[in-house]
Each structure stands twice: as structure tokens, then as C-alpha cells.
Chain A
């Protein structure tokens, strides 16, 4: 069965008309040129200045400062920064810990994305109904999103504790884990243990985005498919997925960037261990910057993370043919 939005085609048409009206020439607006001029200025700069100032202070300046800092290093004994040229960058590319961390970060991002997209879509399809009670269920979904990630990390740290935790207890009771089994201190399972916390918290975010997309889909193609005898799988793969593609792509983009910067869960649950099995790039950059006061090296690591995110995101936008 295809579950989909109750948005009527007429309503979608209204939306299109409203959009058209928004870009129409002044004369076509019922409220006339006088009202429209309230949003237009011949001298826009004074109006833009607050936004520009905020951007300059909190985005542009820190970015350029970080670039400058990546060519310096803090000398703890002299308590000052010294120019080191490309040393931080060459050290970084030769640093096995950095490559380990990058590998962990990519694995974490990729696996979490796949799980959260699949789970998110499945749950969204189940919840896309106007039956009584479904509204409440959709509301309940937002609850995980308001929990601070560090708290979620702490919850799962306790739930996955090998001695007192609920999850190992259940797994052992079901015979899926041996008596001495551990999650967070096993190099094989630790990353999965952290990903479980992330997935618990952020799958509902995917569900909400997908639900919004599903409920905005037009009815007609689905009705036609039903008349033509398409089964649920065919309708999903040939109608729902193609029509949802941009929504999915945007959700993947947002979550992908977020996952690549993962810090809280790892910091709280494993501190990057066992060994370096769960060290992400963000955790490594944080450690170098704030624990060891290697500000220059930390800046280089952060910039490298930024470059990877920007490049990947741009490639993804092109491949997914997203338009802003």
C-alpha cells in the first residue's frame, strides 16, 4: 500500500500561484507599488551592514585567522606563536593518527548516513498517515532531537556498559553476546556502539524531513499507478523515490556535514578508544588544539576537515543536481 500525503492537487496549485505572484511585476500586485517599496532601498548597504558585520566577525575573520594560525605554532615555554611555514601541513599529511582518524570519520559518516536514511525513510512511510494517533507519534519523534548530544552519549555509555548496561544484558540473555562480551572497549564494536547513539538521536530528524516531503507529493501519479496495477515496491521505487530525490539529497547533505564533524558522542563514550578505534577528525583536532595546545596543528586539522566537507558537499550538490 502506498501511504502518502493528503495534500490536494488544488492546494499544490495554490502554492504555485502564490509563488508566481511573489515574483510577478509590481503592477500585478493588488497592494500596489507603495507597499512593495517598503522592502526595497536605493541604499541597501546600511541595511545589510548588521548581517555583514555578523558574518565578518563570526565566520570570515575566524576562517582567515585559522588559515593564518595553521602556519604558526604556539611555543609553550615562550608563551608565544612562531611562524613555522608549511610544517603543520606536512606534519599532518605524514601523521598516521590523522589518517586513522579520517578513516574512522569516513566510516562513521558513511555507515550512519546509510542506516539513518534507510531507517528514516521506512519510519516516515509508516507514519505518513492521517489515521488517529499518528500525529502524536510524529510529535513524539521530535523528543530525541531536544536531548543534548553529550547527554545522549552519557545515556548510551551507561546502557552499553559491559557490567551494568541494559544492552549487553539483553544481548547476553539472547545468546548474541558471550559472557565476557564488551561493546565500547572492543575495537570491532566500539564504533558501532557510538553510531547506535547517533542513530537513536538523529534518525527522527530524517523521518521528519522525509515525512514533510512525502506529504507534499501529488496524489495523481500514485492514483494512476494504482489503476495501472503497480505493486507497492514498484510504486515506491519508480514514483516515491524519484519524486523524493531532492528531499533525500538535502537530508543527506545536512546530516553528512553534521556526521563528519562528530565529536560529542565519541568524546563522552569512548574518548576515541580503545586505542584509536573511534578517534574522529574533530576529536583529534580538539585534542591537539585544546589538550596539547598545538594551536597551529589544530588549525591545520580543522581546515583540512573544512576542505573535505566543502569539496564533498559541492561534488554532491552537482551530482544530485540540487539547486538552491
Chain B
């Protein structure tokens, strides 16, 4: 039986088991015939709440997951010269990193003899660690977790994975298939100035999410335009407020999350951060229209949004006090997790509304790609200063290989994969059910948003400062009432941003 048939068969028996058409013993026997053994349980780990089987824990996963024989054999051979070496990675605490760290990296070590140390930190601290590492050239970290907004800053400090894959055949994982990565992601989060800075690793992206129960009760439909999105928020607020707000936000002053929200409204109203002359354009007519829209939208948010980052925003939905939002799709599985949410099975996901108008890349500066679906993807890159660069490259390939991405998606709580094949994998599709931990039922919306609605921030070395300080601090001042008008705030941002860019 070929691998695709095996996976389809597994999906089929998994579905029968969940529906009660097969007992556990028969299910395991059938899975064993497929050569999947107890590992099949991992594919249905999400079904615990209904089947009573129990969610497969990271520890159990470590016991049970099996890897394709060809992949496993190749890693054993390729890893031999590097056995005993240690690969170090500093990463944000994201679902893929957590899944690898807690449940999967042990397999890599078992197959290759290479140890892996993963340090999980808040995003801003990852940036600090990496910057210090490249500045000192010490090679403390062999692998860099690179947010898309840092590509320009680190492009000269990493090894181009495509070149490495082509030039070092002994270390090129068979079937790795770089072309399997979603093309929009490769362009949006991995490329800078013709250099592939890293391999696409994860893809948090803005999608439209809403409370199905509220929409049904109020006769609303998922917004197809930005105006509808606002009117939906107002309708919910009017009918359900102040217990339930029309929408929510991540608008903490001085925090990157505030800048993320801003770009969504800016891009969707035909604006851009930079113009072709590489000066700030957020204060133009489209930019001000976006600000006015945002002000109206904010009237339907809890007052506390001004002190929330993404954590607070996600939690507000989980607590059941927000009716809709355009934000990170990776929130979605946590809302379906029984026990941790008041909206289990109630949320729905779809693509963002259509932008009023959209600038082309040529109409912007520094490679900015306007789109309502703001993406915050990241890449995994091998450092030029790595102490164990080859071992790190092996790990990077394994961590982003098709099979690993499937396990990350299944065990990592339904995070969005960066490979097309992972979205199509039956084990991932089998999780697309409501009301279960780690659901993947939002991934169709994620995939379509990546393909058709994705927005990417500009690539310039100063972007980390502009996006993490200048813009969110001034926006914070505006929402705190320190500016008389959106125009005054945007003009102030323009002066500062243009000053920084001019050096």
C-alpha cells in the first residue's frame, strides 16, 4: 500500500473508531497492519473528549510516534558524524516550538545522536538574544528563529537553505521538497533581497473569526467587506453589550501587537506603511480613513483592550465576551479546548473581509505586501556563526519536514503548517472537528488567507525598532488621548519613522 493510501486508510479507521463503529482493540490492530502501531493513536489524539481515549500527552507521544522508515534511516546515517553535538535554538513560545520541545525532539536525538536545546522566550527577548549573538559572533545559538519582520536585519548572518540543500548533497534530506512550502509564505517570510534567509517554520496569520451562536441569533453573516465587519460588530454590541462586546483587540501601547492591528486596518483601506519613495505614508488619505474606521471599531471593544496584547485578546474571546475578531488564527484551537474556554464549539473561522482597495507591492516600499490577513510568520535559519552548523541544518530540515509538520500540527494544538502537504494530510484533516483540543477546522481559512489575503510587513533593518517602539508608542499615545486627531498622531509617526529610516 502506498503512503497516501495508508494515510487515507488510517483516517478512515480513525473516523470509524470515533463514531463508535470500531472498538479500541480493533482500531489498534488495523493500525498495526498499516505499520503505524500505537503511533496511530497520535493521529487521533484530539478525539479524546468524545472517545474517552484520552488526549495523547507529549510524553505518550514520545513513546508512540513512529517515523517513516526512509526518513528515519537517512537521519541515522546522516547524523552519525555529528552524534554527541548539541544544537541550540532560541525561539518564541509558539505551538510548533512547544510541540518540538516537549514531544518531538527526542526522536531526532534518538535517530541522529544530536542533542537539541531549545530556549523558549517572549518574542522581544528572542530578538535581543539573536542580536547579541550576531553582534558578538559567539555562536551561542546554532539556529535562529526569525520573525518575518527581522529578515532584513539578519539576512547577512545566516546560511541560505536553498544553497545549502543544493551544495551539500550528503546532508540534503530526501523528499524534503522545498517547493512544498506555500509559495506566498516563502516570499512573505523567508526571502530578503533574493536571499532565502530561512525555511518557513510557522505561520500565525490574521483570519476572521466569529461566534456562530451570536451570528445565528442576530441574523448576521460573516463579513465580506470591511463595512459589514464594522456593522456586525455594532450589531453585536448593541444587542449584547456590555456583557458581550462587538469585537476585541490587542492594543497595548508600545507593544508590537498594536502595530499588527494597525496594519490590518491600514492595508484594508488601501493604505500602506511606506510609499515607493521609501517614506512613511500612514498619514495619507487612506491611512487616515483607516484610523477613523479603527476608532469606530474600538467603540465596540472592551475598554481593557488598551492594556492587552495577543494574550489578552485571545483570552477575551475564550471568556466569551467578544463576538468577532480579525486576528491570529492560532488562537482558534485553544477556544475549542474543553475546560479552558467558555466558547467551545461556538467559534467559526473564515477568510478576512475583502479590502476596500489594496495597494500593489510596487506602490509600497521595502517589499511591503498589503493584505487584510496580516501575517506574523517565522523561519528557521542556520547561523553563520553556529558551532555545529551541519547538525543544525539536519535539525532544521527535520523540524520542517512534511512528516514533522503533520505531528506538530496534530500535537501542537492545530497550529497552521507552512507546507501544502501538511494541510492535505488525513491526520490533520481528521482533527477538523468542533469542540476538541487541537482542532484543525480553521486551517482551510488559514490556507486560503495565506494564498489570497496575506499581508506582509516591509523588510528593512530598522523595522524592528519602528514596529516595536515608534509606531506602537505613538499609537498608544493617540488612543490615550495625547493627540488631538489621527492626523496629528500619524504626522508625528511620519516624522519619527522617516528620521529613523534616513539614519
Chain A residues close to B by CB (< 8 Å): 74, 76-77, 79, 157, 161-165, 179-182, 184-187, 270-277, 287, 290-293
Asked if B477 and A275 sit within 8 Å, CB to CB, the answer is: yes
Contact of A291 among B124, B253, B481 (CB under 8 A): B124
| A-B pairs with beta carbons under 8 Å apart, 16 shown | A74-B135, A76-B461, A79-B135, A162-B304, A163-B316, A180-B303, A182-B303, A185-B479, A186-B480, A187-B482, A270-B254, A274-B253, A274-B254, A275-B253, A291-B127, A292-B465
Cβ contacts under 8 Å, A79 to chain B:
134-135, 137
CA distance A179 to B242 in the complex (A): 10
Cβ contacts under 8 Å, A163 to chain B:
302-304, 316, 321
Top 3 closest pairs, chain A to chain B, by CB: A273-B253, A185-B306, A275-B477
CA distance A217 to B481 in the complex (A): 52
Cβ contacts under 8 Å, B127 to chain A:
291
Asked if B468 and A275 sit within 8 Å, CB to CB, the answer is: no
CA distance A293 to B150 in the complex (A): 14
Cβ contacts under 8 Å, A184 to chain B:
306-307
8 more A-B residue pairs beyond the given contacts A187-B482, A272-B253, A293-B131, with a C-beta to C-beta distance below 8 A: A76-B131, A165-B304, A184-B307, A270-B307, A272-B254, A273-B254, A276-B477, A291-B469
Asked if B474 and A275 sit within 8 Å, CB to CB, the answer is: yes
Cβ contacts under 8 Å, B242 to chain A:
179
Whole-angstrom distance from the CB of A68 to the nearest CB of chain B? Answer: 16
Cβ contacts under 8 Å, A161 to chain B:
304, 307, 312
Central interface residue in B253, B312, B465, B479, by most chain A CB within 10 Å: B253
CA distance A88 to B177 in the complex (A): 49
Asked if A182 and B252 sit within 8 Å, CB to CB, the answer is: no
Cβ contacts under 8 Å, A164 to chain B:
304, 319
Closest B residue to A283 by beta carbon equals B254
CA distance A100 to B465 in the complex (A): 19
How many residues of B sit at the interface, in one of the four size bands? 35 or more
Cβ contacts under 8 Å, B473 to chain A:
272-273, 275-276
- Chain B 124-145 interface mask (CB, 8 Å, partner A; 1/0): 1001100110110100000000
Answer whether residue B43 sits at the interface, using C-beta atoms and an 8 A cutoff. Answer: no
Answer whether residue B38 sits at the interface, using C-beta atoms and an 8 A cutoff. Answer: no
CA distance A274 to B258 in the complex (A): 12
Asked if A277 and B134 sit within 8 Å, CB to CB, the answer is: no
Asked if A274 and B302 sit within 8 Å, CB to CB, the answer is: no
Cβ contacts under 8 Å, B468 to chain A:
291
CA distance A316 to B319 in the complex (A): 51
Number of A-B contacts (CB under 8 A): 102
CA distance A57 to B322 in the complex (A): 54
Closest A residue to B127 by beta carbon equals A291
CA distance A178 to B1 in the complex (A): 68
Central interface residue in A163, A165, A180, by most chain B CB within 10 Å: A163
CA distance A76 to B468 in the complex (A): 17
Answer whether residue B346 sits at the interface, using C-beta atoms and an 8 A cutoff. Answer: no
Cβ contacts under 8 Å, A180 to chain B:
303
Contact of A181 among B303, B307, B465, B481 (CB under 8 A): B303
Answer whether residue B476 sits at the interface, using C-beta atoms and an 8 A cutoff. Answer: yes
Cβ contacts under 8 Å, A276 to chain B:
254, 473, 477
Contact of A274 among B128, B135, B319, B479 (CB under 8 A): B479
Contact of B476 among A165, A181, A274 (CB under 8 A): A274
Asked if A162 and B303 sit within 8 Å, CB to CB, the answer is: yes
CA distance A272 to B312 in the complex (A): 18
Closest B residue to A74 by beta carbon equals B135
Contact of B469 among A76, A277, A292 (CB under 8 A): A292
Answer whether residue B255 sits at the interface, using C-beta atoms and an 8 A cutoff. Answer: yes
Contact of B482 among A157, A185, A272, A275 (CB under 8 A): A275
CA distance A292 to B153 in the complex (A): 11
Cβ contacts under 8 Å, B10 to chain A:
none
Closest B residue to A292 by beta carbon equals B465
CA distance A184 to B253 in the complex (A): 10
Central interface residue in A77, A181, A271, by most chain B CB within 10 Å: A271
Cβ contacts under 8 Å, B464 to chain A:
291-292
CA distance A165 to B312 in the complex (A): 12
Closest B residue to A295 by beta carbon equals B135
Asked if A273 and B303 sit within 8 Å, CB to CB, the answer is: no
Cβ contacts under 8 Å, B306 to chain A:
162, 182, 184-185, 274
Closest A residue to B256 by beta carbon equals A271
Contact of A273 among B252, B319, B465 (CB under 8 A): B252
Cβ contacts under 8 Å, B253 to chain A:
185, 270-275
Whole-angstrom distance from the CB of B406 to the nearest CB of chain A? Answer: 35
Whole-angstrom distance from the CB of A308 to the nearest CB of chain B? Answer: 24
- Chain B 303-322 interface mask (CB, 8 Å, partner A; 1/0): 11011000010001001010
CA distance A185 to B478 in the complex (A): 11
CA distance A68 to B319 in the complex (A): 52
Asked if B480 and A187 sit within 8 Å, CB to CB, the answer is: yes
Asked if A291 and B476 sit within 8 Å, CB to CB, the answer is: no
CA distance A185 to B131 in the complex (A): 30
CA distance A180 to B321 in the complex (A): 15
Whole-angstrom distance from the CB of A41 to the nearest CB of chain B? Answer: 41
Whole-angstrom distance from the CB of B334 to the nearest CB of chain A? Answer: 17
Assess A291 versus B135: contact at CB under 8 Å? Given A163-B316, A274-B479: no
Cβ contacts under 8 Å, B255 to chain A:
271, 273
CA distance A77 to B242 in the complex (A): 51
CA distance A77 to B255 in the complex (A): 25
Closest A residue to B309 by beta carbon equals A271
Closest A residue to B255 by beta carbon equals A271
Cβ contacts under 8 Å, B302 to chain A:
162-163
Closest A residue to B322 by beta carbon equals A163
